[in-house]
Structures are given as C-alpha cells and as structure tokens.
Chains A and B, each alone.
Chain A
Amino acid sequence: MNGVTLRDALDVRDLCVAYGKVPAVRDVSLQVAPGSIVTVIGPNGAGKTTLLAAIAGLLPARGVVRCFGDLATAWPVEERVRRGIVLVPERRELFGSMSVADNLRLGAFTRRGEQHKAAIADVYRRFPRLEERRGQLAATLSGGERQMLALGRALMSAPRVLLLDEPSLGLAPLVVRDIFSIIAALRSTGVAILLVEQNARAALAIADYGYVLESGQIAVEGESASLAANPRVAAAYLGQAHTARTPAAPPG
C-alpha cells in the first residue's frame, strides 16, 4: 500500500495537532491511494475528528500533508477544496435554512461554468432520495437524508480526496448499510477515501487498509482483513469477547 507503484492521492507525514498545549494527534502518518478506501478506527476521543479537520485545513497542524505530490500544508481550507481535498464533517455542517438543491449547488461553488449540472445529475443518481426532496429545507431532513446530503454536497466539489468523518453516526443499521454501499461504489470513480469510523466492523468491511488510532497515535495498521483478524483489534473494536482479552492501550 505504501506508494511503491501509485502516487498517493493523500500523503500525511508526522502530523501533530494540539488544542492549546494539549496534544490531540501525535506523529500520525498515513497514505491513501486513488480509488482506494482507507479507514481510521478508534475509540471516542482518540483524535479521529481532529485528524480529519487538520487534513482539511480547519485546524492548524505541524507535519506535512501532500495531495498528489503537491505540498498542501500551507493551503487554507478553500484552496484544499479547490484542489480536491473535501471533508464531510461529523456534524455535517449543512445549510439548514436552504433547500437541498441549493446545498448541492453550493457544493460546486469552486467549479467553473456548467459543470455543476452534470455533477448534480450524478448525485441524484446515487441518492434518488435527495432528488425527491430537492425543494425541502436541509434542516427538515431525517438523519440519513442529512448524511446523504452532506455526502452529495461533497461530491459536487469533484473531490480527489474525500474525508468522511463517521458517516454512520446516529443512523439506523439499515441506513448505515445503504450509506456504506454508496461509499463503496465511489471507489470506481477513482477518488481516494479516508473513512473515519467508530463502527469498525462496517468500516473494515469496505476498506482496503486500516489504521487504529488510540490516544492520538497510530497503534496498529494493516490490510483490512489482517486488522479484522488481529485479536487485539477484534477484542477492542469488533466486540468479539471470546478472542484474547488484551486491553487496547497504546504501545509504549
């Protein structure tokens, strides 16, 4: 996975993020290749949201972020969006008093000319539900629909690197399945997906590679299948109590 053949869409090296003096993410390095799904799993408070926010440029960070080889570290959020690094945040951050269609249209704010028309047709094809609700205000949508809208809005920006923060959060299991199959289907568009999840089982099922984040550091990494088979990961995150009961503390 580590960029021998393909140039990485996203390459993060030694990223450190702190809130004031309190470190939340320490020396995290990870790579995502185009057309692949990489997941970061970990318990509540591990620093997953902080990590994604820093990669998106919302939080200042030390370390290096590269997008298709270009140094992105100094780019503000808007520049990263323009260059294809797009975040779907944990809180969705929709425009509640605007219609679904307007939310989507604004997703293509950085794109020129009429490109948004083809993009919106593509989003409606992936999320027929959004087309049914296109005149409705975003604030009145159900939880699953809001997540769909957040994803759809991000797709409108023509992402090359898509950062997804807990897309399953607060959703019913059936809706989670829908959303995850839509995410898996995005792989064929060539977009690189960095998927942050507490729902480790669902995430590892669609991801190619995974990292386990604990207390702001990467504790374990590996192919999804081998991570799922790792007794420590299984015990801590997949709820398989019968496997070895090793406590999931960060090494060292």
Chain B
Amino acid sequence: MDLSIAAFLVQDGVTNGAIYALLALALVLVFTVTRIIWIPSGEFVTYGTLTLAGLQLGKPPGTVGLLIGVAVVAAIVETIATLRAREARKLPLRLAVWLGVPLAIAAAVWWAAPRGLPLALQIVLALAAVTALGPLIYRIAYQPIADASVLVLLIVSVAVHFALTGLGLWFFGAEGSRTPAFTGASFTAGGLTFSAQSLLVVVASLVLIGLLYLLFGRTLYGKALHATAVNRIGARLVGISPSFAGALTFVLAALLCAFCGVLVGPITTVYYDSGFLVSLKGFVGAIIGGLVSYPLAAAGALLVGLLESFSSFWASAFKEVIVFTLIIPVLLWRSLTSRHHDEE
C-alpha cells in the first residue's frame, strides 16, 4: 500500500466515521436522557435518504403518508391520555402540537415534491419530515412506558425497529435509492487528492456537533436535557417533565439521524432496510463511549469508520465481521474498568 492509497482510505474512513459519529452521539443522547437503547435509529437514517431521493425525483416521498399515519396515531394516544387525566381544556393545544405540526410538514413536503426546489431547500424539508417522526414515535411507543426497565425499553426498541422497517418497505418500496453528490469537485493538497464531497460531510458533521455542544452548554432546554441525564429525580423536582425531555431528545436524535441519511445518500445505495447496519456501526462507537460519553462515542465511531475502510481494502469480504468483532474487546475492556456509580 502506498501513501496515496492510505490517504484515500483515511479519507474514506473519516468520511464514514463522521457519519457514524453523528449516529453515535444521537444514541448516547437518547440513552442518557431516556435510558432507551435506540435500535430504530437506523430507520431514521433510511427515511432521511429516501425522503431526499423522492424529492429529487420530483415525486412525493413515502414520508408524507408515513408522517400523516403516525401523527394520527399519536394524536389518538394523546387525546385518550388527556381525557383520562381530565384535562380536556388542554386538548386543542396538544392536538396542534401532535397533529397540526406534523400535518403541516407533510403538506409542505407534498407540495414541494414536484416543484424541483433547490437541493438545500429539499434537504431542509427532508430533515423536517423525518425529524417530526422522532417525537411522534416516542409519544406512541416509549412515553407510555417511560418508567419501565432498560430491558423492557430495549425490547420495545426491537419491536419498533421491525415495525419501522416494515413501514419503510410499505411506504418507500423495495427499490434502493441514491442521491446525487452535493458536489463533484475535488482538490489536491500536498500531492494528495481530496474530494469536496468528503470534506463537506466532515465539515457538516463538525458544525452539527458544535451546535449540539452549544445547545447543551448554553440554552435552558439543553441544560434541562443534560440535567435529566445526570439526575432523573432531580430533574423532575425542578419541574422538567420526563415526557418533555423525552420528546425533545427524540427531536434532536431524529434530526441527527436524518442528517446522517442525507450524508449517506451520495455514498451508498440505500434500501428500506439499509439503516440497521449503519446504525450498528454507530452503536459500536457509542458502546466504546459506554453509551454515556459523547467524546468517546465520537472517537469510537471515527475508529469504526477507519477500521471499516482499511479492512475493506485488505479483506473486503470480512469488513463487517472485522468491524463488529471490535465490539468484543471493547466490551471486555469496559466491563473490567467500569463501575456502577450513583450520580448525585
């Protein structure tokens, strides 16, 4: 292997690693705030790619129907819960949030599809549509059992994963889609060639991570999520409701995953069930961070990207095996070094 091949592999690995890092961060966020091991994250990646692909083809993506269906179910769940709690006067506002907003987004996507809007606008719409699905799924599947054990939440996650994969097949069909590259440009530096597309992916990921950092460090809602992650009872005692924290977490996590979907689209062909494998790689990163450390999770995801890229060069048939085998020494190391501690 010469330097230029190595440079290419590194570039490839870092590009994929940046995407896995976003996923890993979403998984850590969801786990620390809600204790949910968010297996269905991959479906949100898939939806992100397929929504953008639909918009690019000029036909309304399956997301429109999916969003409407899920919003109607969530609205029914919310209505029943509200009436049970005898809070009927709060119903209009809640319906506006749980039904009105998703329907408005679905309408916007449906309207925009045939109009050939600029790529940036299409990306915004695709992100909005998939992001809206996050809190809706939380409302339907997780909020009613938010106090359950991690194991129960995990089992529900597996069920949601299969449900969302099935819905993906139903609404998007079995054909794969690929979105065009954002840019075909490339440039050379120090005798090595870099593609602008890769650079864009890495920069976009860094910007998103930076925004997330600001959100948690500087805004009240970000601090509220952090507080919930640090001390659940303490958070309730200052009036942060777990449902609010959960819904907000799923907004952010779905946005991160949808963003991954947009970034993945030009790299690989995405089918309705492709997300799972992508999300597993995010999981390897997240588990390197013990599901609680953001920096370690991001670093772990980067490592996964590099490992994947180099193993596909040396032993491409085994690349997945190599990547997932990484998890064994990591789990061993973690189980030897980690201790349970109560944060107060």
Residue numbers of A with Cβ under 8 A of B are 56, 58, 74, 76-78, 81-82, 86-87, 89, 91-98, 102, 105-107, 109-110, 139, 153-154, 156-157
Q: Which residue of A lies closest to B342 (CB)?
A: A91
- In the assembled complex, how far is the CB of residue B217 from the closest CB belonging to chain A, in whole angstroms? 9
Q: A77-B236, A98-B226 are in contact. List 6 more A-B contacts (CB 8 A).
A: A81-B236, A81-B237, A89-B237, A106-B223, A110-B238, A156-B238
CB of B237 within 8 A of CB of A96, answer no
Binds A, one of B126-134, B162-170, B227-235, B271-279: B227-235
Query: Quick one: which of B223, B238, B343 contacts A153, CB cutoff 8 A?
Result: B238
Is A78 within 8 A of B240, CB to CB?
Answer: yes
- A102 near B237 with CB under 8 A, answer no
Tell me how far the C-beta of B292 lies from the nearest C-beta in chain A, rounded to whole angstroms: 11
B239 in contact with A105 (CB, 8 Å):
no
- CB-CB nearest in chain B for A156: B238
Contacts of B227 in A (CB 8 A): 95, 98, 102, 106
Known A76-B241, A105-B223, A153-B238; judge A89-B343 contact (CB<8 A). Answer: no
Q: Which 9 A-B pairs have the closest CB atoms?
A: A93-B234, A110-B239, A81-B239, A78-B241, A77-B236, A78-B239, A95-B230, A95-B227, A93-B233
Residues of B within 8 A of A74 (CB): 85-86
- Contact at A95–B234, with CB atoms within 8 Å? yes
B344 interface residue per 8 A CB criterion: yes
Given known A-B contacts A81-B237, A157-B239, A92 and B223 have beta carbons under 8 A apart: no
Please determine whether A94 and B241 come into contact, CB atoms closer than 8 angstroms: no
Which residue of the partner chain B has the closest CB to A87? B237
| Cα separation A102 to B240 with both chains bound (whole Å) | 14
Would B85 and A58 count as touching, CB distance under 8 A?
Answer: no
The answer to whether B238 and A106 have CB atoms under 8 Å apart is: yes
Known A-B contacts A74-B85, A78-B236; A97 and B230 likewise in contact (beta carbons under 8 Å): yes
Tell me the bound Cα distance from A97 to B343 in angstroms.
Answer: 8
A98 — which chain B residues lie within 8 A by C-beta?
223, 226-227, 230
Instruction: A94 to B235: give the CA distance in the assembly, Å.
Output: 9
CB of B336 closer than 8 Å to a CB of A: no
Q: Is the interface of B mostly helix, strand, loop or mixed?
A: helix
Would you call A95 and B239 a contact (CB within 8 A)? no
Least Cβ–Cβ distance between B85 and chain A, in angstroms? 7
Q: Which residues of B are found within 8 Å of A78, using beta-carbon distances?
A: 236, 239-241
- List the B residue with the shortest CB-CB distance to A80: B239
Q: B328 — which chain A residues lie within 8 A by C-beta?
A: none
A56 B237 Cβ-Cβ under 8 A: yes
Pair B230/A96 contact, Cβ less than 8 Å: yes
Closest residue of chain A to B226, judged by CB? A98
* A76 partner residues in chain B, CB cutoff 8 A: 241
Tell yes or no: B224 within 8 A of A by CB: yes
Interchain nearest-CB distance for A101 vs B (Å) = 10
Interface centre among A86, A91, A96, A106 (most CB of B within 10 A): A106
- Please determine whether A94 and B237 come into contact, CB atoms closer than 8 angstroms: no
28 A-B pairs whose Cβ atoms sit less than 8 Å apart in the complex: A58-B233, A58-B236, A74-B86, A77-B237, A78-B236, A78-B239, A78-B240, A81-B237, A81-B238, A89-B233, A89-B237, A91-B344, A95-B226, A95-B227, A95-B230, A95-B231, A95-B234, A96-B231, A97-B230, A98-B223, A98-B227, A102-B227, A105-B220, A106-B220, A106-B223, A107-B238, A109-B240, A157-B238
Min CB gap A7→B, angstroms? 24
Nearest-neighbor residue (CB-CB) of B343 within chain A: A96
Q: Which residue of B is nearest A57, CB measured? A: B236
- A82, closest chain B residue (CB): B239
- Give the distance to chain B from A78, nearest Cβ to Cβ, in Å: 4
Specify which chain B residues have a CB less than 8 angstroms from the CB of A110 in the assembled complex: 238-239
Residue contact A94 to B231, C-beta cutoff 8 Å: yes
Complex contacts, B220 vs chain A, CB 8 Å: 105-106, 109
Complex: A38 Cα to B69 Cα, angstroms: 54
Give A74 to B85 CA distance when docked, in angstroms.
Answer: 8
Do A86 and B237 contact each other (CB < 8 Å), given the known contacts A102-B223, A106-B224?
Answer: yes
